């Protein structure tokens, strides 16, 4: 790779001709927002197939560098990767559009489902449908782990690191930030882990030629300006809502979920204990059973798993409506929108601030290896998610007696087999699972 290609960070706002029109890209991101089932593994796999393999919007190495960078950040990595690809195509407006459309359909679905759960109690038909979707999603996640793992775990040390990350999480309950730190250190020390995500000998990234350059000026001044804009954009809607509807529960929701967004390393499951303790025990916004229902819904609807926050926010508003002097549905919608806003806003700051320097970072051999080590370890983390969900969906019985749900296991294996053929799209598999659940076969 030529020095002028690797050492210059891209700035899509200075690009001569983007590979795709903004309107076409926006239509794709909206489409992705409706079909992004399967959690981060499935979502990243869809973007790999569409944006790299089929459309050629982004080079494979640039895709992996963006994935590496997103894995480093707190927040939903798949949504941040979408924003990064949008940034490479159309600059800041591309990042905002891609990142927003990625989660917006799922957020609307979650608020609708939260209203059903809050207003109508036992939703038997929803339970039946999701009983079929859940095992199909297990098959989708396992397939995505295999697909991404074969690209990143391309050496014996890589496989060992992914396995160690899984074991540390699943058996040792090691905090995710420590796993990330260890993976970065090991990646920097072991050359074999540096084969992923760029570096000498990689294919040239045709998107980073002379017409694309790093933003002019001092990068620290740029960061300060972006942070100031972020703080204003964060504060104004929260202040307006508190002024109109009163502080409870909106101010506490803004504080909790803004904090959560800044510490969500490792995806939604890493921060769920923190959110659950605050929402259930500290504030009493939601009952434990409703929290579990929200998590199940988030697992089986499009968008990031962290959209469970939207569900919690809706319940917080619904249950505090009388104190706020609002109708329950109004308070629920306002709280759900507020929580969604503060959950995803920091991701845009991270991507827009850091994206111009991702390619330049890859020129540093040790940094590149560290990022590759982290990406490899995250394969084990995602596999841990598959095991966690698999145990919840495929194993039945109480603590003293366990049994395999063979019907659910059959759906999961069938979904995996269909995906391996490469002929059945993920939305069709989700539909098949929903149909099987609706007719009572799962």
pLDDT digit string (tens) for 370-407?
767 877 887 887 787 678 767 777 887 765 667 888 99
**Range of weakest confidence among 96-110, 300-314, 356-370:** 356-370
Strands 403-404 and 395-396: antiparallel
Residue at token pair 């494979």: 60
- Alpha-carbon distance 395 to 389, whole Å? 10
Please, what is the average pLDDT of the chain? 79
Q: Is the pLDDT of residue 334 over 90?
A: yes
Average pLDDT value for residue range 183-189? 83
Helix intervals (H) in 153-218: 156-170, 176-189
- Alpha-carbon distance 402 to 254, whole Å? 41
Q: Is the pLDDT of residue 201 over 50?
A: no
User: If DSSP states are collapsed to H, E and C, what string results for 61-124?
Assistant: HHHHHHHHHHHHCCCCHHHHHHHHHHHHHHHHHHHHHHHHHHHHHHHHHHHHHHHHHHHHCCCH
- Alpha-carbon distance 251 to 247, whole Å? 5
- Alpha-carbon distance 86 to 65, whole Å? 14
Give residue-wise pLDDT tens across range 96-109.
999 999 999 999 99
**Range of weakest confidence among 244-248, 361-365, 407-411:** 361-365
Write down the pLDDT at residue 343.
Answer: 93
Query: Which whole-number Å values give the CA distances from 313 to 153, 201, 332, 376, in the listed order?
Result: 38, 48, 7, 34
**Closest C-alpha to 303, from 102, 86, 138:** 102
pLDDT-derived band at 345 (thresholds 50, 70, 90) equals very high
Helix intervals (H) in 190-249: 219-245
**Closest C-alpha to 197, from 209, 214, 210, 184:** 184
Q: Is the pLDDT of residue 140 over 50?
A: yes
pLDDT-derived band at 28 (thresholds 50, 70, 90) equals very high
- Alpha-carbon distance 318 to 327, whole Å? 8
Write down the pLDDT at residue 212.
Answer: 44
Q: Is the pLDDT of residue 110 over 70?
A: yes
Q: Is the pLDDT of residue 1 over 50?
A: no
Write down the pLDDT at residue 79.
Answer: 92
Write down the pLDDT at residue 203.
Answer: 37
- Report the predicted TM-score, pTM, of the whole model to 2 decimal places: 0.68
Average pLDDT value for residue range 143-163? 81
- Per DSSP, the residues of 362-388 read HHSHHHHHHHHHHHHHHHHHHHHHHHH
């Amino acid at each position: 790779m030529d020095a002028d290609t690797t050492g210059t960070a891209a700035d899509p706002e200075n690009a001569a001709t983007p590979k795709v029109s903004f309107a076409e890209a926006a239509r794709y991101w909206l489409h992705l927002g409706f079909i992004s089932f399967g959690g981060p593994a499935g979502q990243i796999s869809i973007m790999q197939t569409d944006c790299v393999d089929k459309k050629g919007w982004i080079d494979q190495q640039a895709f992996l560098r963006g994935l590496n960078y997103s894995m480093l950040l707190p927040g939903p990595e798949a949504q941040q990767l979408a924003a990064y690809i949008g940034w490479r195509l159309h600059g800041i407006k591309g990042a905002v559009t891609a990142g927003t459309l990625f989660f917006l359909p799922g957020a609307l679905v979650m608020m609708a489902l939260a209203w059903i759960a809050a207003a109508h109690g036992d939703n038997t038909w929803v339970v039946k449908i999701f009983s079929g979707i859940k095992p199909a999603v297990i098959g989708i996640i396992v397939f995505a782990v295999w697909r991404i793992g074969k690209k990143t775990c391309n050496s014996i040390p890589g496989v060992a690191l992914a396995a160690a990350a899984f074991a540390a999480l699943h058996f040792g309950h090691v905090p995710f930030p420590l796993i990330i730190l260890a993976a970065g250190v090991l990646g920097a020390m072991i050359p074999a882990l540096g084969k992923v995500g760029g570096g000498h000998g990689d294919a040239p990234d045709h998107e980073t030629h002379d017409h694309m350059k790093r933003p002019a000026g001092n990068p620290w001044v740029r960061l300060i300006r972006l942070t100031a804009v972020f703080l204003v954009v964060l504060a104004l809607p929260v202040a307006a809502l508190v002024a109109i509807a009163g502080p409870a529960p909106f101010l506490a929701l803004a504080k909790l979920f803004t904090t959560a967004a800044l510490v969500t390393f490792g995806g939604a499951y890493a921060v769920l204990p923190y959110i659950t303790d605050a929402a259930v025990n500290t504030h009493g916004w939601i009952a434990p059973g409703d929290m579990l229902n929200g998590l199940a819904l988030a697992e089986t609807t499009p968008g990031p798993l962290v959209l469970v926050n939207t569900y919690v926010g809706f319940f917080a508003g619904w249950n505090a409506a009388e104190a706020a002097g609002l109708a329950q549905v109004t308070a629920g919608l306002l709280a759900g929108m507020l929580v969604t806003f503060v959950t995803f806003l920091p991701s845009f700051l991270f991507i827009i601030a850091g994206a111009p320097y991702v390619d330049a970072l890859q020129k540093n051999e040790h940094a590149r290896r560290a990022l590759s080590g982290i990406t490899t370890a995250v394969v084990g983390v995602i596999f841990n998610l598959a095991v966690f969900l698999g145990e919840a969906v495929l194993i039945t019985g109480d603590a003293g007696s366990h049994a395999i749900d063979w019907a659910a296991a059959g759906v999961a294996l069938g979904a995996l087999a269909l995906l391996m053929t490469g002929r059945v799209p993920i939305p069709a598999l989700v539909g098949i699972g929903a149909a099987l659940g609706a007719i009572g076969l799962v």
